[in-house]
């Protein structure tokens, strides 16, 4: 049911991709693992953002994600490509995620009074989105 009241930020726990083709491969690999390891019908996240700010569509706005049990039907999941335990994501990646949230609000997909759950770790036992990203986004 849209608009959703929550936005959940996670990371892919992969290496930072160097080229667009490397990033596309990583997203396809994640989709493959979600199919085969978790028996999902599609990739679990609604969107992915790579280091230069380019975004990939996962389940998009209108389909329930599979990114945070108990929150899937009431949230949009944005995953940062890379691992961010020690390193803060580049500014273009952070800006792109914020822009996605703004666009979601304007399009009626995210509630104007949404709650940003800054980390997947707030709703699941996980390290995601990593300490550095978690601390950056909760500012």
State which residues form the domain around 15.
4-138
Task: Give pLDDT tens digits for 7-30.
Answer: 999 998 887 888 888 888 888 888
Distance from first CA to last CA of the chain, Å, rounded?
29
Q: Please state the domain count of the chain.
A: 1
Which residue shows structure tokens 């085969």?
36
120 pLDDT tier (thresholds 50, 70, 90): low
- The pTM of this model reads 0.88
CATH number for position 22:
3.40.80.10
Question: Per residue in 39-86, pLDDT tens?
Answer: 888 898 999 999 999 999 999 999 999 888 899 999 999 999 998 989
Q: Is 105 exposed, middle or buried (0-12, 13-18, 19+ CB in 10 A)?
A: middle
User: In the sheet where 110-117 sits, what is the strand order?
Assistant: 55-57, 47-49, 75-80, 4-11, 110-117
Q: Which residue has the higher pLDDT, 120 or 113?
A: 113
């Amino acid at each position: 049911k849209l608009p959703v009241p929550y936005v959940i930020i996670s990371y892919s726990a992969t290496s930072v991709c160097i080229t667009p083709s490397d990033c596309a491969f990583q997203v396809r690999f994640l989709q493959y693992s979600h199919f085969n390891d978790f028996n999902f019908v599609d990739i679990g996240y609604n969107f992915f953002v790579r280091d230069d700010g380019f975004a990939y569509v996962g389940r998009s706005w209108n389909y329930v994600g599979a990114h945070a049990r108990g929150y899937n039907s009431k949230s949009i999941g944005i995953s940062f490509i890379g691992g961010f335990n020690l390193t803060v994501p580049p500014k273009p990646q952070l800006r792109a995620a914020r822009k996605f949230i703004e666009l979601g609000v304007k399009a009626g997909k995210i509630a104007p009074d949404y709650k940003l759950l800054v980390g997947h770790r707030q709703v699941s036992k996980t390290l995601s989105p990593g300490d550095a990203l978690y601390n950056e986004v909760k500012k």
